[in-house]
Amino acid sequence: MVDIDNADPVPGGASSWPERVEVMQTVLDASTDPIFNILEDGTYRYVNAAFSGPFGKTPEEVIGRRIWDLFGSEEAEKRMRVVRQAFATRETLVFEVRVPTPAGDRHYITSVRPIAGPDGAISSVVCISKEITDRKQVELERERLIEELKEALAKVRTLSGLLPICAHCSKIRDDRGHWTRVESYVSAHTQAKFSHGVCPDCLRREYPEVGR
């Protein structure tokens, strides 16, 4: 096992533990992914700018505050249920979360990892989020289109098979044995609508004075 405190410094790297801590702090602060550390009572012990920024706040304005100060009661409780579960199970959990912001809802996938203190008990959880807003919007749009397609298909009815039709009056016999006019039958089984007019042949036959 390597003794980190007594290990030889890496060329170009931090040579002491305080310097290494400073490097890690810089990496966390500069991350474009939201990273935060939260206690069991919902108090933020650390957040980076990627986490506080969407709320229009600096990390310093968030650290020390509780989750209910940033989220409404319902949204805060959703998150705290996962935090409590991580404390209880000591397992890393992954879940999707919606974050309401002044600029609109943002969607993230977040990992919640419990951290044990010197006594072995879980003292806090570290959360790292990855924004998936664009992907979520695509999924929501796809779901919307699928629902629209289902509705459209439910409205579309087609005719198929052999239709018994009278050779003289052209009425159609339905599946109950009733004879109905063609337009009534088609309208009842499709989305087609009829408008009535007179064809040239019928016009000459029925209204010869008009056809002259």
Residues 167-192 have pLDDT tens digits of 878 888 888 888 988 888 877 777 77
Q: How high is the pLDDT of residue 1? A: 38
Q: Does this model's pTM top 0.85?
A: no
Q: Is 120 left (phi over 0), alpha (psi -120 to 50) or beta?
A: left
The span from the CA of 180 to the CA of 172, in Å, is 5
How far apart CA 91 and CA 106 sit, in angstroms, is 26
User: Cα–Cα distances in Å, from 33 out to 18, 53, 113, 206?
Assistant: 24, 11, 15, 81
Cβ atoms of 187 and 194 closer than 8 Å: yes
Q: What is the pLDDT of residues 81-129, one digit of tens each?
A: 999 999 999 999 999 988 877 788 889 999 999 999 999 999 999 999 9
Whole-number Cα distances in Å, 199 to 171, 174, 203, 211? 19, 27, 6, 11
The predicted pLDDT at position 188 comes to 78
Q: How many CB atoms are closer than 10 A to CB 42?
A: 19
Q: Is the dihedral of CA 31, 48, 23, 94 positive or negative?
A: negative
Type of residue numbered 164: P
203-212: list long-range contacts, CB under 8 Å, 24+ apart.
Answer: none
Q: Which one-letter DSSP state was computed for residue 191? A: S
- Which domains does the chain show, CATH number per domain? 31-136 (3.30.450.20), 150-211 (no CATH)
The pLDDT, as a whole number, for residue 68 is 96
The answer to whether residues 53 and 60 touch, using CB atoms and an 8 Å cutoff, is no
End-to-end CA distance of the chain: give it in Å, rounded.
110
